Amino acid sequence: MRSDAILNDAARGSSDPRQRRPIPAWVATTALLLPTYGWLTLAVLLPLLTMFVFSFMSATPMGKTPIVFTLKHYRAFIDQPYLINIAWTSLVIGFWTTLLCAVFGFLAAVALARATVGRMRETLLVLLLLPFWTNGLVRVFSWTMVLRENGFLDGVVDMVLPDIGSISFLYTRYAVVLGLVHGYLPYMILTCYIALSTIDDAIIEAAASLGARWWTILLRILLPLAAPGLISGAVLTFVPVIGSFMEPRILGGKVGVTMGTVIEDQFTQAFNWPLGAALSFTLLAVVLAIFATFSGVLRRGTTA
């Protein structure tokens, strides 16, 4: 009897809410988010804030020139009109790269989501991610071996059409777009694949049973339902492309001058950090405007 009473007292004591004292939700949330936001603050926010301050300086702060805060670097597009043409070139390259990624990426995602199952789908997904496993510089230099005169492409063409001559288009904007499409196409495929994989198969089967052809299903059903993934992939592609500098510099040569290469030159060659920072934040403003524009489209697409 005494042991039963002790057990009952222990049970009542363990169920007493005053002895449990659960951790408040805000404490647990803060503890989980603190490492991530702390790292983002040190690695991203503080450097961005520093460069933002640099963009208002009259000279690089590491030199001996007196520092004066000014807005002249943000007038670069007015004082140096050639930058407008360079910015337009960057936007055109970004547009064509995004468009090609959208077309080929969506079709590849449809084939991946609708025409493969099981291990075959997993194998193709791994193959799609292979470009991310290699260094970007190696990928770009590999394209120079393919596109240069008497390179791999010319060798293949010469075997098929011996009299056509060289078709090398290295150091052109076409080569720049090709290299960028190769680098950013997996982003588009993955976002479209995720959107397509959520579509109920019953919708496709119902359309097919009612006599819809494959192109009708593709354009009238799959494309509208996968629009959020397509737009997300377009944003993820266009935003980094307009600021890229490695592909334009290596594959474009003299015609590969973009905003990315100009900004890189200001930091690495001209040592004009304030101008480079100002151009970077101008480009960042364009990126934010793109996000603001597509946020409403994405919201409507997800609620449709």
| pLDDT tens sequence across 189-238 | 989 988 888 888 788 888 888 888 878 888 888 888 888 888 888 888 98
- Reply yes or no on whether the pLDDT at 7 is more than 70: no
**Model pLDDT, residue 8:** 56
Q: Kindly state the greatest CA–CA separation across the chain.
A: 106
Phi/psi at 69 (5° precision): -85, 130
Distance of CA 217 to the CA centre of its chain: 29
Please give the torsion angle defined by the CA atoms of residues 189, 194, 199 and 200, in that order, rounded to the nearest 10 degrees: 120
Burial 67-105, CB ≥16 within 10 A → b, else e: eeeeeebeebeeeeeebeebbebbbebbebbbebbbeeb
**Model pLDDT, residue 201:** 79
- Reply yes or no on whether the pLDDT at 6 is more than 60: no
What would the pLDDT profile of 133-170 be if each residue is shown by its tens digit?
778 888 888 888 888 888 788 788 878 877 777 777 88
Q: Across 129-190, where does the E strand assignment appear?
A: none
In angstroms, rounded to a whole number, what is the distance separating the alpha carbons of residues 225 and 199? 7
Provide mean pLDDT across the span 2-30.
61
Provide mean pLDDT across the span 181-194.
90
Phi/psi at 149 (5° precision): -65, 135
State the DSSP code for 57.
Answer: B
Instruction: Specify which of 36-40, 111-115, 296-300 reaches the highest per-range mean pLDDT.
Output: 36-40
Q: What percent of the chain has pLDDT over 70?
A: 88
Q: Is 184 or 28 the better-scoring residue by pLDDT?
A: 184
Nearest Cα neighbor of 229 from 284, 298, 167 is 298
What would the pLDDT profile of 96-125 be if each residue is shown by its tens digit?
999 999 999 999 888 888 776 677 777 888
In angstroms, rounded to a whole number, what is the distance separating the alpha carbons of residues 21 and 222? 52
What would the pLDDT profile of 265-274 be if each residue is shown by its tens digit?
998 888 888 9
Q: What's this model's pTM, rounded to 2 decimal places?
A: 0.80
Please give the full DSSP string across 66-89, using - where no structure is assigned.
PP-B-SGGGGHHHH-THHHHHHHH
- Give the confidence band of 300 by pLDDT, cuts at 50, 70, 90: low
Please tell me the total number of residues recorded for the chain in this structure: 304
Pick the CATH number of 82-303 from 3.40.50.150, 1.10.3720.10, 1.10.10.10, 3.40.960.10: 1.10.3720.10
In angstroms, rounded to a whole number, what is the distance separating the alpha carbons of residues 210 and 32? 51
The ranges assigned to domains in the chain are: 82-303
Provide mean pLDDT across the span 231-254.
88
Element (H, E) at 151: none
Average pLDDT, the chain: 82
- Using alpha carbons, list the distances in angstroms from residue 106 to 36, 56, 249: 33, 43, 28
If 0-12 CB within 10 Å is exposed, 13-18 middle and 19+ buried, where does residue 39 land?
exposed
- Give the confidence band of 20 by pLDDT, cuts at 50, 70, 90: low
Token digits of residue 176 = 């720049």
Locus of tokens 């670097």 = 73
For residue 151, which amino acid is it? G
In angstroms, rounded to a whole number, what is the distance separating the alpha carbons of residues 248 and 255? 8
**Within 13 Å, how many C-alpha atoms sit on residue 115's CB side?**
8
- Give the confidence band of 12 by pLDDT, cuts at 50, 70, 90: low
Full 3-state SS string of 91-146: HHHHHHHHHHHHHHHHHHHHHHHHCCCHHHHHHHHHHHHHHHHCCHHHHHHHHHHH
- Give the confidence band of 67 by pLDDT, cuts at 50, 70, 90: confident
